[in-house]
Amino acid sequence: MPDYQLLQQAFSPENFRRQAHQLVDVLAEYLASVQKIEEKTVIPFREPEQNLRYWQEDFQKPLLEDPTELFQDIINRSTHLHHSHYMGHQVTPPLLLAALSGMLSDVLNNGMAVYEMGLVSNPLEKIVTDWLAKKLGFDNDTSGLLTSGGTLANLTALLAARAAKASTDVWEEGSTDNLAVMVSEEAHYCIDRAARIMGMGSKGIIKIPVNERYQMRTELLESYFQAAHQQGLHVIAVIGSACSTSTGAYDNLEEIATFCQQHQLWFHTDGAHGGAVVLSEKYKYLVKGIEKSDSVVVDFHKMLMMPALSTALIFRNETDAYHTFQQKAQYLWSNQQSMEWYNSGKRTFECTKLMMSLKIYVSLRTYGEALFRANIEVLHDLARRFAEIITARSQWELALQPESNIVCFRYCFPQQINVLNQQLRKRLLEDGSFYIVQTMLRGDTFLRVSLMNPLTSETDLLALLEKMEEMVKKMPEY
């Protein structure tokens, strides 16, 4: 076939209509089947080499007449987030309407960096970030943006902190003083990574110890700050975790805010996972003081049900957002200095950017805030219930009472407790009937669930414990 015809076929609306209908049918069948849990494992785990070999062989096969079979194969070999036994990492089972909006944005593919390439998505981005800023308790002259993930959003926030607080213009002149940030030792590793990318090195990441509930010991901030000063470090920011990743513990944001005010430091809140609780009257007490932050990160792909990636970074002061990236790109926008909300690329790391605002906006317009609130409350309530269930069973123990929807616990093996909990989790992974993860807390291994699926029930959690209790009985090591 001549290439021109191939292109015509690939762009044919009729082919698209047929393939899209087929895919939607396949996905609807899939979603129905993962909700009948007895029929399906949640994770079809295979070793990496085995999966690589499978796809290498697939890649050698003749071209497909119809991609449906391939779609099906991809589904079957993936981890099933809509399965009620999915309780592993903090990625949400996406809202189906948001996933459909993803198809819409993929077809439109407006690149967003400049207004002309994001006539709809730039205004929608302003609307959804203004909405979130209000929920966070910020008033009107805030500035928000959407970017590709919490990792990039935290780096962007720290770049803004540097622009605001460093004594020299690092963007123009390079780094001359020894900049540093203060953060709890339980913070997400991306903070450490961001500080290193910014040239602060390990000395520039001052880790504040945590208390027995894994929260930053804010009473130590002053002495760590003074010690850093004596070593010639220039602390620019304190980062609060809301919540931290391993345990779901929320730092005391009020106290961090007060400390930052006293020393004129930037106060950044990493609310990638838990910042979303501002949408719940019942749980927003967990982030009291968040409105005093200079910047806040919230991942929509965690507690807010959006497909990955979709992250908000909100600045309390509008101007801060425009100081982060200061270089000129004449062909994109004529005046770098002006605050043009509608040219997305001025404030984000990305040049071309996904139309993430679309999915959030469509979801809000269709279901309202109530859906987000329901998700947060169902997941948090369920974590508290799971903690009660664990506490009531003598062979299990909690690492700590959960504040968020993350629960860390372990089986009380009388000896070799770490190794045996690791083995238990590995057996569960290979079995595939539940998906949970593990974490290290003060040198000990704990099993960890993030309750991300609102269709997970108490019955599923009881079944999880029973499954593992059965597995313990069969462990030869035990």
Ligand X SMILES: *Cc1c(COP(=O)(O)O)cnc(C)c1O
Task: Choose between 233 and 406: whose C-beta lies nearer to ligand X.
Answer: 406
- Binding flag, residue 90, ligand X (CB under 6 A): yes
Q: What is the nearest approach in angstroms of ligand X to the Cβ of residue 185? A: 13
Output the 3-class SS for 98-146: HHHHHHHHHHHCCCCCCHHHCCCHHHHHHHHHHHHHHHHCCCCCCEEEE
Task: Choose between 92 and 241: whose C-beta lies nearer to ligand X.
Answer: 241
Interface positions, 151-170, toward ligand X (CB under 6 A): 151, 154
- Binding flag, residue 273, ligand X (CB under 6 A): yes
- Cβ contact 312:146 at 8 Å: yes
Cα Rg of the chain (Å, integer): 24
Q: What is the nearest approach in angstroms of ligand X to the Cβ of residue 364? A: 20
- Binding flag, residue 245, ligand X (CB under 6 A): yes
Q: Which has the closest alpha carbon to 377: 436, 310, 304, 448?
A: 304
- Binding flag, residue 241, ligand X (CB under 6 A): yes
- Binding flag, residue 190, ligand X (CB under 6 A): yes
Give the distance from CA 26 to its chain's centroid. Answer: 28
Give the distance from CA 429 to its chain's centroid. Answer: 22
Residue showing the smallest CB distance to ligand X in the complex: 150
Interface segment toward ligand X; rule CB under 6 A; list 25-33, 96-104, 147-155, 376-384: 147-155
Interface segment toward ligand X; rule CB under 6 A; list 29-37, 41-49, 144-152, 422-430: 144-152
Strands (E), 153-308: 178-184, 205-208, 233-241, 266-270, 295-299
Tokens of 4: 């021109």
The binder of ligand X chosen from 125, 186, 251, 270 (CB under 6 A): 270
Interface segment toward ligand X; rule CB under 6 A; list 24-32, 150-158, 427-435, 441-449: 150-158
**CA separation for the pair 468, 476 (Å, rounded):** 14
Torsion of CA 75, 80, 81, 86, to 10 degrees: 180
Tokens of 151: 């990792």
The binder of ligand X chosen from 101, 246, 280, 311 (CB under 6 A): 311
Task: Choose between 153 and 420: whose C-beta lies nearer to ligand X.
Answer: 153
Phi then psi for residue 276, to 5 deg, are -60, -20
Interface segment toward ligand X; rule CB under 6 A; list 148-156, 259-267, 323-331, 439-447: 148-156
What interhelical angle do 253-263 and 221-230 show, nearest 10?
Answer: 40
**CA separation for the pair 453, 88 (Å, rounded):** 10
- Binding flag, residue 184, ligand X (CB under 6 A): no
Interface segment toward ligand X; rule CB under 6 A; list 73-81, 269-277, 327-335, 384-392: 269-277
Task: Choose between 150 and 345: whose C-beta lies nearer to ligand X.
Answer: 150
Phi then psi for residue 414, to 5 deg, are -70, -25
Size of the site for ligand X (CB under 6 A): 15
- Binding flag, residue 295, ligand X (CB under 6 A): no
- Binding flag, residue 299, ligand X (CB under 6 A): yes
Query: What amino acid occupies position 193?
Result: R
Task: Choose between 117 and 314: whose C-beta lies nearer to ligand X.
Answer: 314
Q: Which has the closest alpha carbon to 120: 360, 366, 372?
A: 360
Task: Choose between 117 and 306: whose C-beta lies nearer to ligand X.
Answer: 306
The DSSP symbol for 330 reads T
The binder of ligand X chosen from 94, 144, 150, 289 (CB under 6 A): 150
- Cβ contact 451:87 at 8 Å: yes
- Binding flag, residue 137, ligand X (CB under 6 A): no
Q: What is the nearest approach in angstroms of ligand X to the Cβ of residue 373? A: 20
Positions that interact with ligand X (CB under 6 A)? 90, 149-151, 154, 188, 190, 241, 245, 270, 272-273, 299, 309, 311
